Each structure stands twice: as structure tokens, then as C-alpha cells.
Amino acid sequence: MANKTEQNRNWYIFDLKDQILGRSCTRIADILNGKNRPDYLPNLDLGGYVVVINAKDVKLSGNKELDKRYYKHTSYIGNLKTKEYKDIKEENPEFIIKHAVSGMLPKNKLQALKLNRLKVYAGDQHPHVNVKFVNK
């Protein structure tokens, strides 16, 4: 059984160049949840750190690059804000990855802690060293 004192979190790096968004994000969410560990428990936060590079080069399957939209409501009547995928990809490609992974994590008190261990970078440069490379 894993205690907080026994936790050793591994670091993983994902290169999303020419990778499909949903398939990659499910693997990222599994690592953040700790489901890749043999001592996984759903009530403990045992996941590792994930560094994502080349977020600007991620692909979507089908016609989603043209059809996908992100919605945000301001809680005022009639204020539903809509942005298209291509606009967000140019402005803030890190948001796309974080939004997809946060939708795949359980909605509980541990979600914010798990998302803090996700580091997303638009290019291939990152400040983290001694990180395992997870191949496609």
C-alpha cells in the first residue's frame, strides 16, 4: 500500500508532433491518475508528472479541425462565447491539451492536483531535465 512518504513520482515526456489529440490525452490522463502503476488506488494521488511538447503540432481525426468549437459561458443571460479550434491553436495551443486532459480526469478534489503535474509546451523546448521519453 502506498503512503505519501513512499511516493516516487516519475516524469514522462510526450511528443505530440503528428499525434491524434484524443488518443494521446487518454494516455496522459492515465499517467496523471496513476493507472500505469501496479499499486494504483482510486482514492490516492499516485500519478506521475507529464511534460508535453509540440502541442502546436497535434492533429485531430476526421473533420474536427474545421468543425470543433470551444464554448464558455459567462453566467450572464445570452453570453455564450464560442471560439473555433483553429483560432485557439494559433493563440494558445497549450489550452487544447489541458482542456482535453481535464475532461478525462475524475471530477473530484484530486483533479486540480493532477492537472498541476501536467506541463504543456507549444514547441519542443522545455526546462525539465532527466525525463523519460514515452514513444508513440
Task: Please check whether residue 100 lies inside any domain of the structure.
Answer: yes
Instruction: Please report, rounded to a whole number, the percentage of residues in the chain having pLDDT higher than 70.
Output: 90
24 lies in which domain range?
A: 11-61+92-125
Residues in the chain, overall count: 136
Alpha carbons 95 and 86: distance in angstroms, whole number: 12
Task: Please check whether residue 19 lies inside any domain of the structure.
Answer: yes
Across the chain, the runs of DSSP E, i.e. the strands, are 11-15, 49-53, 69-73, 80-84, 118-120, 132-134
CATH code assigned at 103: 3.90.1180.10
Residue 13 scores a pLDDT above 80? yes
How many domains would you assign to the chain?
Answer: 1
The helix or strand, by DSSP H or E, that contains position 33, with its residue range, turns out to be helix 21-33
**Max Cα distance, the chain (Å):** 50
Task: Please check whether residue 107 lies inside any domain of the structure.
Answer: yes
Q: What is the pTM of this model?
A: 0.88
Task: Please check whether residue 67 lies inside any domain of the structure.
Answer: no
Question: What pLDDT score was predicted for residue 34?
Answer: 93
Lowest mean pLDDT among 5-19, 49-63, 82-96, 110-124: 5-19
| pLDDT tens digits along 30-88 | 999 999 999 899 888 899 999 999 999 999 999 999 999 999 999 999 999 999 999 99
